[in-house]
Structure 1
Amino acid sequence: MLLRRVMSALTAVLVLAGLSTCMPSANAATNPAAPYAPLTRQGPALSVPGATIKAAMTCHGNPKAGPPPVYLNPATSVTGAENYQWNWEKVFTAQGRYWCTMTMPFHTFGDIQTAAEYIVYAIRTMYAQSGRKVTILGHSQGGMSGRWALRFWPDTRAKVAEVIGMAPSNHGTKSLPVCGLASLTTCTPAVWQQQAGSTFLKALNSGAETFAGIDYTNIYTKLDEVVTPYDAGALHTGGGRIANIEVHSVCAADPYEHVMMGTVSPAVYGIVMDALDHAGPAVATRVDKSLCSRLYMPGINPLDVVSFAPLLTGVPSLVTTPLPMMTLSGAPMVKAEPPLRCYAYAAGC
């Protein structure tokens, strides 16, 4: 039970670190109700040096061969390896699928606006190397943050085939109210930004939640204790093709909560593979129901203790995710949500 609770905290709040070098204009900073950037405005130059992002990126496979490529987007408190090396990376390697992931600053606890620049770089690089559209597969914050790249860097939209979120925090959570309590507490930037009603989430979901030409599969569970309400991961607006799938519509007895949704659940595995194997988003009735009798997704070998090493290294950072005033990640502890970058506002930079 303790391990399960520890793992639950892991995907709770996924973010990335780094302070902005692109500050909001005076008008934007003093007028949080200012309209957001038009959907078609060209995205800004990346403020994180390309060499820094390149060094954080890990890829495997032949970009030109095999099934279409997947970018594995990590959750809050973990690196790409800690989140995916012991599960999804094994699955995609066995399929001969080209995949990449990132080691984000501060274990993805930093400003998600900075993390989004890493995602923009990954999309552009993988598309250029493979000549094929990329799927973004993410857990918790990782199921949401790729949409910031698509919202504010329009050139990435033609390079992405689909976005698959496993317990994504698309509309934030109401389960972490301790941040900023009576202005006495501090939290990491990513935790602030994933609070329901944050300015970050308002900007993310402004104009359109989805874009034409991209398929969106959002998978969530009634047992989610991190993203609440549990269906806050659903998307509804925009021109993309959308499937919002509650995992119990596929496997009625699925026992897994937030953290296990993106790492262990065989039902989630079935939904993800259905989305990858067919045109359009996943269809719940198409998913292989034999998966419902499994304890864990294919790719995981519970006897291979060595493969779980990355998971164990992420536990100390994971357990601090919901705690105010404390982090082991080195991320800044702040009393308020980071300001939006100027490019997110209609006034621009």
Structure 2
Amino acid sequence: MISRWVHSAVLAALVLVIAPIPAQADSGFAPVDRPGPALSVPQDQLKAALSCHGDPGSEQQPVLLSPATSVTPEENYSWTYAKAFTDQDRFWCAVTMPDHTMGDIQVAGEHLVHSIRAMHRLTGKRVAVLGHSQGGMSMRWALRFWPDVRPVVDDIIGMAPSNHGTETLKGCGPGPTSCKPAVWQQLAGSEFMRALNSRAETYEGISYTVVYTRHDEVVTPPESSELTTGEGMITNVATQDLCAANTSTHLLVGTIDPVTYALVIDALDHPGPADPARVDASVCGQPLMPHIDPASVDTYLRPLSAIPGLLSTALPGVNLVGAPSVDREPQLRCYVYAAGC
């Protein structure tokens, strides 16, 4: 059984609906209970990519931060959620993906598998994974193909996640319009997206909170962020459902938006996914999420706004540090398929 937030076209009211939704059947992809493969990324690289902070014995739920396409955890979170969690004395870790989070997301998935396992060993607790854009989707690759990590994950929280790809980017192809590997994989209809969402999108015992904005210009249509199938408990909510005048874009939802922050904290501090009914209406009048130094907004947000996530990585002539552009989507690994390796 899952829960979904249904938006009233007239009153924009939120009504919690509990109903069974059948899993997506796709016999070409691996069954959901098949053990995952050994990690191909060397252990020393996996260990070096994970940075943890605070007391692993903290009473609060530990959080793993997963970054968006084209940014590092430092750029994405050091001035926002990392600072908030430190102020809360919450144990948190961040994983730095290869190639500035522009490389093959199958490799990023292995980093997430290692990070979740390592955090569970450190804390003895089930882990919450919080991510923006690609980072709000990629942890689902780890859950889909490494079922051993599911029992140690409590919450999956995506901020404007690219759960079904985006229809915005149409320019990927051979020649000068080649794209970064992660951009190919986040196009709507990609083989990566077909595999990610095959058979089931969510898993029993895990709470899924999807927060997005109807002003998203990167993940389009914005509602494609939503999750609907599987046995997990799901809250899909747009920031405008709580605050009709909210104007946050894709970048702001994953950084400074106070409505998103309130929903993230609600999910972390309560059993199950976020419940918008628990969020105080006063959040609509806040300019920034708590814990942010206003001076840091200019320091971090201005450079980030010039590189709006995966949108810029597909533009001809843009040469960002990271994976080289390629003229086709990376081939899916053999473990993805029903036939296996």
The two structures share one fold, judged by TM-score above 0.5: yes
Per-residue CA deviations over 1:74-128 (Å, capped at 9, x if unaligned) read: 0000011110000000100011111011121111000000000100011000001
Work out whether residues 266 and 291 of structure 1, in 8 Å CA contact, stay in contact via their aligned partners in 2.
yes
Query: Could you tell me how far apart the structure 1 residues matched to 2:245 and 2:193 are?
Result: 32
Query: Could you tell me how far apart the structure 1 residues matched to 2:141 and 2:29 are?
Result: 13
Map of 1:281 onto structure 2: 273
Runs of at least 5 residues in structure 2 that lack an aligned partner in the other structure = 1-25
Map of 2:152 onto structure 1: 159
Map of 1:140 onto structure 2: 133
RMSD between aligned residues: 2.0
Q: What's the % identity of the aligned pairs? A: 54
Q: In structure 2, the residue corresponding to 1:138 is in which secondary structure? A: strand
Work out whether residues 251 and 308 of structure 2, in 8 Å CA contact, stay in contact via their aligned partners in 1.
no
Match of residue 43, structure 1, among 36, 57, 63: 36
Deviation at 1:324, TM superposition (A): 3.7
Match of residue 230, structure 2, among 216, 220, 238: 238
Work out whether residues 70 and 322 of structure 2, in 8 Å CA contact, stay in contact via their aligned partners in 1.
no
2:92 aligned with 1:99, yes or no? yes
Q: TM-score, normalised by structure 2?
A: 0.88
Map of 2:283 onto structure 1: 291
Query: Could you tell me how far apart the structure 2 residues matched to 1:325 and 1:167 are?
Result: 26
Runs of at least 5 residues in structure 1 that lack an aligned partner in the other structure = 1-32
Structure 2 counterparts to residues 1-349 of structure 1, below 5 A: 35-180=28-173, 185-304=177-296, 308=299, 312=303, 320-324=312-316, 326-349=318-341
The one of the two structures with greater contact order (alpha-carbon pairs below 8 A, sep at least 6) is 1
Q: In structure 1, the residue corresponding to 2:110 is in which secondary structure? A: helix
Work out whether residues 171 and 233 of structure 1, in 8 Å CA contact, stay in contact via their aligned partners in 2.
yes
Query: Could you tell me how far apart the structure 2 residues matched to 1:257 and 1:137 are?
Result: 18
Query: Could you tell me how far apart the structure 1 residues matched to 2:70 and 2:302 are?
Result: 11
Question: Which amino acid in structure 1 is aligned with residue 101 of structure 2?
Answer: T
Question: Which amino acid in structure 2 is aligned with residue 331 of structure 1?
Answer: A
Q: In structure 2, the residue corresponding to 1:321 is in which secondary structure? A: helix
Q: In structure 2, the residue corresponding to 1:163 is in which secondary structure? A: strand
Question: Which amino acid in structure 2 is aligned with residue 207 of structure 1?
Answer: R
Question: Which amino acid in structure 2 is aligned with residue 336 of structure 1?
Answer: R
Number of residue pairs aligned between Structure 1 and Structure 2: 315
Query: Could you tell me how far apart the structure 1 residues matched to 2:37 and 2:266 are?
Result: 35
Query: Could you tell me how far apart the structure 2 residues matched to 1:224 and 1:69 are?
Result: 29
Work out whether residues 75 and 139 of structure 1, in 8 Å CA contact, stay in contact via their aligned partners in 2.
yes
Q: CA 1:343/1:311 → structure 2, altered by over 3 Å: closer, same or farther?
A: farther
Deviation at 1:313, TM superposition (A): 8.2
Query: Could you tell me how far apart the structure 1 residues matched to 2:164 and 2:304 are?
Result: 29
Query: Could you tell me how far apart the structure 2 residues matched to 1:135 and 1:230 are?
Result: 23
Query: Could you tell me how far apart the structure 1 residues matched to 2:306 and 2:74 are?
Result: 13
Per-residue CA deviations over 1:274-307 (Å, capped at 9, x if unaligned) read: 11111111111111211110111012111357x9
Query: Could you tell me how far apart the structure 2 residues matched to 1:330 and 1:266 are?
Result: 30
Deviation at 1:231, TM superposition (A): 0.5
Q: In structure 1, the residue corresponding to 2:51 is in which secondary structure? A: strand
Q: TM-score, normalised by structure 1?
A: 0.86
Deviation at 1:329, TM superposition (A): 1.8
Question: Which amino acid in structure 2 is aligned with residue 61 of structure 1?
Answer: G
Q: CA 1:311/1:86 → structure 2, altered by over 3 Å: closer, same or farther?
A: farther
Work out whether residues 37 and 347 of structure 1, in 8 Å CA contact, stay in contact via their aligned partners in 2.
yes
Query: Could you tell me how far apart the structure 2 residues matched to 1:237 and 1:262 are?
Result: 24
Deviation at 1:65, TM superposition (A): 1.4
Deviation at 1:322, TM superposition (A): 3.4
